[in-house]
Structure 1
């Protein structure tokens, strides 16, 4: 299976090879922060010197300072017709999460958990051999995964509580969870749990009634000591994106492009952790796995 292991906090400009090209159902995730004085940055999918897909947020138009986003393709040194989106979901100075889903007909691009644009293929996506990112941006995470088609759905179409099987269990140094959705305005709590046969290896709970995040583990019905990150990254009535990365000694939880918490493994048999559960008053639009 084609997969690019997650790259954490790479320097910019950033470039990495895709050994076997892109496949339908793959998703590219880019998390970072736009610099406060940025004029532009770009995410390019390339084939040799050609730019198969150019995603280019810009922050200065000749008649306005409002941001916008350009999509385009460059073949044999010649740029094609620019496709513009006149409102940018990547404000200067703020964190972002950009995802590009490869489908048979187009690239479907989302920002911060919300669908943003669609770009019809002008060149074969199978020929893409590298990802290149440059401009006035800081990067937290770049990853490529191959998703099952049914994991993308209209907002709210997932049943809550939601459970998904993690086939083969967890593996170190992989992005294993990507969750996008919407926090309902009246919600008190929502949570994400990684489970095994006898307990919960990792429970990440957003408690809006307490304005806190609580992390814990449960074994044979007994909860351990709570860990509480110092900030609440979710807001009622807002979209969100959560990425949970499994490292050899801990989990890393990214929310809307920024690292929120690192939780050291208490249950260390990662291959036995085989269920993801999402609970609470939340609407889901995308889940991996």
Structure 2
């Protein structure tokens, strides 16, 4: 059951700062999508208590003396930084789009980059103290979303059986964000992501890699409606992906690997009735947060 829904921020301005409604919860996920600027030297994604205490700093840095870059994780309390935990690689090259996900667990923050697990940061300060998030530095943002969900309702990273089906507890509502991670099969022809209700399909989102087109549609009482086609194909055979489907009052907004790719107006508007997510097709599925 959703705990305390907070509407996503679409194309927010950097520096970005917002309060987190109700603070962090066990099982909560934060998704940050955007693009690293070509001249970036660093940027920060901070989880904070007020303006002084940085509970988690995720800090990609780009320095010529260490190749393509590295990422620093750290905590600052009473004006003093702790010891840096470094990963000598960066998942976010300069000039490219990215998708960052931070999942709160009782022991740590589990951090994924572009749909793949990247790092883990053990709690130094209780996550329940966090009440604010900030993003600063040489980066553009397309999406910041907060998804509160009971831990038992999130499929933890691993290999999930495809076709995959799960319940969206409480149905959809404006502000809801659904996250799906996996890898497109090397010989993939098509993949399907569906949001369903008892009498039909509210959103059918189908990348068709064999035809290099994405098809969106809806189905009611067994009858398909008019297809919407897009020539923008953000998926690649053999490559990992992260899909984030944000439900706004009038549209579904789809982000793939940090880039906003497709918008689909609601045809079925009783959002609370939409309570099933299905994933099928030529892919390996590793993580789902309904």
Q: When the two structures are superposed, what TM-score results if normalisation uses the length of structure 2?
A: 0.95
Q: Is the 8 A contact 1:44 1:55 kept in 2?
A: yes
Instruction: Describe how 1:51-90 pairs up with structure 2 within 5 A.
Output: 51-61=54-64, 63-90=65-92
Write out per-residue CA displacement over residues 25-68 of structure 1, whole angstroms, 9 at most, x where no aligned residue.
Answer: 1111111110011110000111120111010000115x234211
SS in 2 for 1:271: helix
Greater mean alpha carbon deviation, residues 109-118 or residues 146-155: 146-155
**Structure 1 unmatched ranges of 5 or more:** none
Aligned match of 1:94:
96
How many positions carry a matched residue from both structures? 286
Query: How much is the aligned-residue C-alpha RMSD, in angstroms?
Result: 1.4
Superposed counterparts of 1:255-270, under 5 Å: 255-270=256-271
CA distance in 2, matches of 1:224, 1:3: 31
C-alpha distance in 2, partners of 1:148/1:91? Answer: 33
Aligned residue in 2 for 1:118:
120
> 4+ runs of 1 displaced by more than 6 Å?
none
The reply on whether 1:50 has 2:45 as its aligned counterpart is no
Matched, 1:165 2:158: no
Cα distance in 2 for residues equivalent to 1:33 and 1:75:
29
Residue 7 of structure 2 aligns to a residue in which SS? Answer: strand
What are the within-5 Å matches in structure 2 for residues 139-178 of structure 1?
Answer: 139-150=141-152, 151-156=154-159, 158-172=160-174, 174-178=175-179
C-alpha separation between the residues in 2 aligned to 1:138 and 1:147?
Answer: 27
SS at match of 2:66: coil
1:72 is paired with a residue of what secondary structure? strand
| Residue 123 of structure 1: how far off its partner (Å) | 1.1
Asked whether the 8 Å contact 2:26–2:150 carries over to 1, the reply is no
2:146–2:177 CA contact under 8 A, matched in 1: no
Structure 2 unaligned blocks of 5 or more: none
Residue 110 (structure 2) aligns with: 108
Q: In 1, are the aligned partners of 2:212 and 2:231 still within 8 Å (CA)?
A: no
Q: Distance in 2 between matches of 1:220 and 1:175?
A: 25
Alpha-carbon distance in structure 1 between the residues aligned to 2:5 and 2:70:
31
Structure 1 CA distance, aligned partners of 2:13 and 2:109?
25
Q: 2 CA distance for matches of 1:104 and 1:270?
A: 31
Aligned to 1:280: 281
Q: What is the TM-score when the length of structure 1 is the normalising length?
A: 0.95
Counterpart secondary structure, 2:231: coil
Q: 1:142 to 1:106 in 2, by over 3 A?
A: same
